[in-house]
Amino acid sequence: MIVTTNDLFRQAYGKYAVGAYNINNLEQTVGLFRGDLGKSKSNDDPTDPAKSAPFIIQISRGARSYTDKRFLESMIRTAGEVFPDAIFAVHLDHGTEEACYDCIESGFYSSVMIDASHEPLPKNIEITKRVVARAHAKGIVVEAELGQLGGVEEDVVGSVCLTRPDEAVEFVDKSGCDSLAVAIGTSHGAYKFSGKQGLHFDVLDSIQKALPKRFPLVMHGSSSVPKEWVDRINNAGGKLGSASGVDEAQYLPAAKLGVCKINIDTDGRLVWCAIHREFFRDKPEGFDLRGPGQVFMPAYADYIIHKNQKLGSAGQLEGVRKGLGK
Ligand code: G3H
Ligand code: 13P
Ligand code: ZN
């Protein structure tokens, strides 16, 4: 069942965060749905209520153009039929204004992100406001972003990059967005922190206090880049260097401060990469693409279960269903 992100945030607020996972292909999609229903090995496994979680499936512009956006939409639609117990939002990740309108008009997405965070505040407000008007007219909710991610690797963390609480208040008030992605020290990709940096909980706390009560916040760039998977990749011929991510122990404290959506893309790529490298390293005579796919899908499902446990969303699916009156 497809719902909006804000339907999920209303129930998660202050208690846990909903995982927002990027997908690009069929194997990721199947692994994601299985994991969110606690079915690790096969589509036909029974759903495990203790592991079942609501989730957000998110599609970047890169994913939409990798093949053709309609393949992704068909896959997700089919996954909703194969896994009828699933409760999820379909979300455009890092949209331009044009991509947002395309998704709003498609009738398939329940949520879009307009990312005009590179623009000065007034222009970011102006663009976001236009997208909000078009989205709300169709019952679709809008995530916007204020602040700039990515400064951490370059050691230029400062007020120029992190979201300013006073600006967040003005932005939310004037743009009418439904949730706000904030820059509190994370960055995209596998190389987030070069030293002892971590999340700026003081900034997050100030943003939460300044905004209207229970306003949902979003954390991008939140992969944990597990050492286990980086080592597996490197032991199978990869060269990932000093990759590092967000400490998973920080997800729940962030959720308690109003972060309702935590974005994970890189970790899924690491799992994919390790499994495929190992598979062909160990079977040099192999060339059937289904071989690594059959190993990847359950491994990814297990990874999603693990991640949802860290986010606190595991075990929440039935409560969400009741809360939605379904
Ligand atoms: O935040 C960006 C996501 O990781 C999507 O990445 O544009 O390479 O699909 P992508
Ligand atoms: P990661 O690169 O940390 O997985 O972040 C993903 C993200 O923010 C997608 O929007
Ligand atoms: Zn992002």
The domain locations on the chain are 5-324
**Residues recognised as catalytic:** 93
Report pLDDT for 193: 85
What fold does the segment set 5-324 form as a domain? TIM Barrel (3.20.20)
Whole-prediction pTM: 0.96
Cβ 188 under 6 angstroms from ligand 1: yes
Report pLDDT for 59: 98
Cβ 143 under 6 angstroms from ligand 2: no
What is the atom index within ligand 2 of the atom nearest the CA of 188? 2
- Residues 214 and 233: their CA atoms lie apart, in Å, by 40
Report pLDDT for 167: 98
Q: Determine how β-strand 55-60 pairs with β-strand 18-22.
A: parallel
Report pLDDT for 154: 41
Report pLDDT for 201: 97
Cβ 224 under 6 angstroms from ligand 2: no
Q: Is 62 exposed, middle or buried (0-12, 13-18, 19+ CB in 10 A)?
A: exposed
CA distances from 307 to 117, 275, 277 (A): 27, 18, 22
Q: In this structure, which residues have their CB less than 5 angstroms from ion ligand 3?
A: 220
Blockwise average pLDDT, block size 10, the chain, 326 residues: 98 98 98 97 96 98 96 97 98 98 97 97 98 98 93 44 96 98 95 83 98 98 97 98 94 98 98 98 98 98 98 98 96
